[in-house]
Amino acid sequence: MIDPVTLIHLTIVGAIVGLDFVSFPQAMLSRPLVSATLGGWLCGDTASGLLVGVLLECFALETMPFGASRYPEWGPAAVAAGAMAAVPGNAELVARTLPMAVLCGLCAAMVGGQTLVWLRRFNLSVAERYRDALAAGDATALVSVHWTGMILDFGRAGAVTALFVMVMLPLRAALVDALHTVSGETSLAVVAVLATGVAGGAVWKVVHTARDYVRYLLVGLLAGAAVVVLR
Amino acid sequence: MTPPRSLPPGTWLHVFARLFAVQGSYNYEAMIGNGIAYAAEPAFRLLPGGRDGEAYRAAMARHSRYFNAHPYLAALAVGALVRAELEGEQPDRVERFRTACCGPLGAAGDRLVWAGWLPFCSALALLAYGLGASAAGVLFVFVGTYNVGHVALRAWGLRAGYREGLKVASALASPVLRTGPLHVARALAAVAGAALPLVLLRLSGAPLRPFGLALGAAALLAVALTRWQARVDGWRVGVALLLLFFLYSVVR
């Protein structure tokens, strides 16, 4: 069981990063790298939170929020995934839990994205209620519509974070014994290969239309390889 | 071109701060239209008659309607619209401008920010992680670098929009928007090329030979995903493979 104070902290942080994603201020606190690290930190294991954050960030490189398209919402999901992976002082257990935490984080991000669609529909119904006032240029009505949207987004993100945490932490407790069959080292290697492979494909999608991109990619790869060999 | 009348600093700051909430009431009909009016509202108070004036209400009504653009480059539109309203432009000209600038501002912002600056900052933070930076260091690199560009772009957009007014198309030809995406994409290629192997090394913590195998497997997956890119999202493939591994480790 998660203690209520930690749950409240996770909920507040989830609400903040969820609000940041679209409504205010889009400072990218909602990216998994940040959110998962905060989730792990709140549960006393910043390093594990960062680990999950790095892995989810690799997947998130594939999903950029273009226009009105539907995309996963990473913030609340990553806060919960960071909390799920946090096992202070037990690196082996963290490594074995990682695939489950990353998988749950990815699924939760899809659910979170759907709640954003519902919020936008609800925002529309609020705006429709004030349609005549908005058409007449009533600033009070505009501020009401706008602030209602932001307050609802904050509440939505907090609620989904709390829900994810309350589902994911008991899930870890229930399944952790069943994960003894694969070593932490193997688990970590598999999830790392998948994440960096997806990130590699995502980066190629973005850069392959840029002139001379291959030259820049090769320079980067050589620099990275040199650091690996020299270490 | 006649220089625009200067806005009081307090009004500038008020409009600029509200730009960060331009998507606060995002919906599928007005999109960010309400946000545009919300951001521009402090400047509209300077219209003849102030908050109780007819000009203020007419401007608020015009700008609460449909508008869609990249949220950061919406600053450019807000600056231009504020100037147009304060200079008493004809409503039909303002309306035409609103319709015409949605597409270009959306496309330019998507290319520069979502497909450029954001993945570049992610890759830079991943590189910092791969080089052994602490959690605070990685977060500082990501949030700090990203927001230098983010805040600067919004500030430039508001200033350039107000300076150019409805002739803001010239600002769209600025080097930032014209060649910026190309330079950012090249920088992303170089930084990601260095970052991903280092991230894999730090994550797996493996000696060189197993690391080579892991790197080969990741490269194979990346190549396969680029081949299938038109048919499937890479991250969904990742989810499916992760699920298979998870099930294997549970039922084995």
Domain ranges, ordered by start, for chain B = 9-102, 103-251
Which pLDDT score, from 0 to 100, does residue A67 have? 66
Using only C-alpha atoms, chain B has a radius of gyration, in whole angstroms, of 23
C-alpha span between B136 and B143 (Å, rounded): 10
Q: Which position has the token pair 């309607």?
A: B65
Burial A180-217 (b: 16+ CB within 10 A, else e): eebebebbbbbbbbbbbbbbbbbbbbbbeebeebeebb
Q: What is the pLDDT of residue B90?
A: 96
Written as six digits, the tokens of B167 are 């002739």
Gap between the Cα atoms of B1 and A13, Å rounded: 48
In the stretch 24-63 of chain A, residues with CB closer than 8 A to chain B read: 24-29, 31, 33-34, 37, 41, 46-47, 49-51, 54-55, 57-63
Average pLDDT for chain A: 94
Of B84, B21, B135, the closest CA to residue A50 belongs to B135
| Partner residue opposite B122 with nearest CB, options A61, A67, A221 | A61
Q: Quick check: A228 and B211 CB within 8 A? A: yes
Domains in chain A: boundaries: 4-230
Is the Cβ–Cβ distance between A26 and B150 less than 8 Å?
yes
Least confident of A166-175, B49-58, B163-172: B163-172
What does the pLDDT read at residue B39? 98
pLDDT exceeds cutoff 90 at B175:
no
Q: Nearest-CA neighbor of A116 among A147, A157, A81, A148?
A: A157
Partner residue facing A198 (CB), from B28, B188, B234: B234
Going by pLDDT thresholds of 50, 70 and 90, the confidence category of residue B1 is low
Supply B2's token pair.
């006649």
B67 near B102, Cβ under 8 Å?
Answer: yes
Q: Which portions of chain A are predicted below pLDDT 50?
A: none
Residue B6 clears pLDDT 90, i.e. is over it: no
Instruction: Report the pLDDT value the prediction gives residue B239, as an integer from 0 to 100.
Output: 92
Give the list of residues 6+ apart from residue A19 with CB closer than 8 angstroms, or none: A150, A153, A154, A157
Q: What is the ipTM of this complex?
A: 0.96
Q: Report the range of poorest mean pLDDT among A59-73, A101-115, B72-86, B117-131.
A: A59-73
